[in-house]
Amino acid sequence: MSYEQYFQAEREAQLDELKQWLSIPSISALSVHKEDVQSAAIWLTETLKRAGLENIEIHPTAGHPVVYADYLHAPGKPTILVYGHYDVQPVDPLNLWTTPPFEPEIRDGKLYARGATDDKGQVFMHIKAIEAILKQEGTLPVNIKLCIEGEEEIGSIHLPPFLEANQDKLAADAVLVSDTALLERGRPAICTGLRGLCSMEVTVHTASTDLHSGSYGGGVPNALHALVSLLSSLHDDQGRVAVEGFYQGVPELSALLREEFAKQGVNEEKIRESLGLEQLYGEEGYSFVERVGARPTLELNGVYGGFQGEGSKTVIPKEAHAKITCRLVGDQDPQHILDAVEAHLKTNIQKGATVKVKQMEKARAFNIDPSDPILQTAADAFGKVYGTRALFTKDGGSIPIMESFSRILKAPVVLMGFGLDDENLHAPDEHFNLENFDKGLLTIVEFLKTV
């Protein structure tokens, strides 16, 4: 039978199987879910075995395990390493979910659950595409390896050492990843660039204790006032980051790259309306798609301190906190950015207050030349299934391990994603459009058969 007929016949059983995986709360960021992450890895190994993969292993790390499998019976043919992750984001705020995040449900052609699109659903498609070829043809047209980790949502902390220690085991002609999105419904894209990332936590201290605002107000520093003033100094009136040295390593946008961005036909007014915004905002001189795809950012992800309960409490807080992340591009060095931001904060802190910085995640930006033949093959595979060839884009998000794969394994990375930007990844009611589940399976088969 054709692959279309095969997948149609297997669709209900495959979705039921995927729901089992999505039911496991494999939240890597929360220690209370450590056993759940392990359970998700075990579930994955059992599924890989049923699919026909071989040499299936769970590799412990200092954190959550890495799952490996392969099928190496195509001498002289390329070796493709499939990468993905089985861990998921926390689910808060829980009350904003229409149905519980770990009770998968299909509504209006969409599968709702935490991990549905990021990234269990997309990893699952690769397993089922491989299984389909094995069942239909008895072997694979290429050699396949899989490296599926459980820490992507916390920065792939322990995967780079695993890659370094297992370079021969993981050696491949290309790394295939589905953890990105289409441009929009029916318009496939292949990401040729991902922004890097660095993060920090900031704490401002003043007095040794919270103080009564009637007894001390106007005479002592207020940690919240000091923090807000400090954070406002991080950007200028043109939306640029005002930290000295922040733009070191940032390439100027070439006319060719700007032309490629323009080809995407992004409708800024539609984006504004869909988000319920009065207007878009960002660094002056750049379009929305340029800002999120090829320019660096410094964002406040959380600001808190003082009394936050119901009603009023006339208190002057002794401390205040902020969480900051930066998205990086080009050759920006995440350590340099962290040091530069920390220096700026310490230089500009209000008198009477002190600032403490905890540096956290670090990941460099990833880029690949879209003219690479394997990316062209991937674009053709999309074209055959979707009826329109994939465009080459740059993604504003970060998959920290992509740069490590490219550098350590010295192999091109093919970011062949099937999600959509409005599928609420990292947010309540995360979902996966099953139209792309169906087409994604066929696209992966087409790619593996033609690469």
What's the pLDDT at 256? Answer: 81
Query: How does the average pLDDT of the chain come out, rounded?
Result: 96
Summarize pLDDT for 344-374 with one digit per residue, the tens: 999 999 999 999 999 998 889 999 988 899 9
Q: Residue for token digits 């009065």?
A: 278
The contacts of residue 132 (CB under 8 Å, 6+ apart) are 3, 6, 7, 10, 441, 445
Examine the domain organization and report whether 167 and 238 are in the same domain.
no
Examine the domain organization and report whether 237 and 346 are in the same domain.
yes
Cα three-residue angle 378-381-385, rounded to 5 degrees: 145
What's the pLDDT at 132? Answer: 98
What's the pLDDT at 62? Answer: 96
Examine the domain organization and report whether 307 and 166 are in the same domain.
no
Select from 344, 363, 382 the last residue of a domain: 363
Select from 363, 398, 421 the last residue of a domain: 363
Examine the domain organization and report whether 87 and 39 are in the same domain.
yes
The amino acid that residue 349 corresponds to is: I
Examine the domain organization and report whether 168 and 46 are in the same domain.
yes
Number of independent structural domains in the chain? 3
What's the pLDDT at 252? Answer: 92
CB 90 within 8 A of CB 29: yes
In this prediction, residue 247 has a pLDDT band, given cuts at 50, 70 and 90, of: very high
What's the pLDDT at 449? Answer: 98
**Domain of 326: which CATH number?**
3.30.70.360
Select from 265, 289, 313 the last residue of a domain: 289
Summarize pLDDT for 50-62 with one digit per residue, the tens: 999 999 999 999 9
Examine the domain organization and report whether 46 and 22 are in the same domain.
yes
DSSP H/E element including 405: helix 401-409
What's the pLDDT at 249? Answer: 96
Q: Which domain holds residue 271?
A: 251-289
Examine the domain organization and report whether 332 and 414 are in the same domain.
no
pLDDT of 41 over the 90 cut: yes
Examine the domain organization and report whether 165 and 266 are in the same domain.
no
**Domain of 141: which CATH number?**
3.40.630.10
Angle between helices 434-450 and 120-137 (to 10 degrees): 50
What's the pLDDT at 363? Answer: 87
Q: Single out the residue of 213, 275, 433, 243 nearest to residue 340, CA to CA.
A: 243
Average pLDDT over residues 308-336: 96
What's the pLDDT at 263? Answer: 86
Examine the domain organization and report whether 310 and 375 are in the same domain.
no
Examine the domain organization and report whether 79 and 187 are in the same domain.
yes
- Residues 265, 269, 273, 276, CA torsion sign: positive
Summarize pLDDT for 365-417 with one digit per residue, the tens: 999 988 899 999 999 999 999 999 999 998 888 888 899 999 999 999 999 99
Q: What is the pTM of this model?
A: 0.82
Summarize pLDDT for 283-295 with one digit per residue, the tens: 999 999 999 999 9
As given in the structure block, the two tokens for residue 118 are: 């990021």
The amino acid that residue 123 corresponds to is: V
Examine the domain organization and report whether 164 and 213 are in the same domain.
no
Quote the CA–CA distance of 338 and 359 in Å, as a whole number.
7
Summarize pLDDT for 153-210 with one digit per residue, the tens: 998 989 999 999 999 999 999 999 999 999 999 999 999 999 999 999 999 999 999 9
CB 195 within 8 A of CB 415: no
Examine the domain organization and report whether 165 and 303 are in the same domain.
no
